[in-house]
Amino acid sequence: MSRWQPNARGRLEQAALDLYTERGFDQTTVAEIAERAGLTERTFFRHFADKREVLFWGQEALIELVTKRIADAADSASPIDMVRGALQAVGEMLADRHDHARRRQAVITANPRLQERELIKLASLATAMAEGLKRRGVPQPAAVLTAETAVAVFKVAFVRWLDADRDNDLSQVIGGSLDELKALTSGA
């Protein structure tokens, strides 16, 4: 096994996703992932804390991106427009990962423990958005309501994107879902 081949993280991620799809998450070991990637278990643990983290390792970058977009939003932007920009940035980040996202989501959907981990990830995202909105002067109740709503919209848009054509743009699906919500609430 060559330890100097490039993109160890990407190779481990691809090997894990392939094995999770073929055998199931619970039936796949770290040793098998490392072997499929042509790496050692030690290399695996340099990149991931455990085999779940192969599916969730980008959470910190996601939260950082969302927080930065909220912080950089125009002063005149409403809270919902601040999170719109943040979520659309996430859509741009995932734009070229449609097939990967679809496969990843299928693995998560098939495993209740992974579903729980995904919910924790989304709760962390909502907390980060709410904190970002509060730093922008949005009162606590409105910040939390906006952030939780944004996560719900993201979840719906993400599923729509996964179920649609691969050429579908996640940022546009998110924007359309937010517009749909706005239309629903303005008629109330």
Candidates 1.10.10.60, 1.10.3720.10, 3.30.360.10, 2.102.10.10; CATH matching 8-54: 1.10.10.60
Q: Which of 77-81, 83-87, 178-182 has the lowest mean pLDDT?
A: 178-182
**Residue 108 has what DSSP assignment?**
H
b/e 168-186 (16+ beta carbons within 10 angstroms → b): ebbbebbbebbeebeeeee
Q: What is the pTM of this model?
A: 0.87
Which range is least confidently modeled, 17-26, 54-63, 76-85, 106-115? 54-63
| 2-27: pLDDT as tens digits | 445 678 999 999 999 999 999 999 99
Stronger pLDDT, 75 or 187, i.e. the higher one: 75
Each residue of 13-46: b (16+ CB within 10 Å) or e? bbbbbebbeeeebeebebebbbbbbebeeebbee
Confidence band of 107 (pLDDT split at 50, 70, 90): very high
- Residue-range domain boundaries for the chain: 8-54, 58-186
Residues of the chain above pLDDT 90, percent: 82
Q: Which fold has domain 58-186?
A: Tetracycline Repressor; domain 2 (1.10.357)
pLDDT averaged over the chain? 92
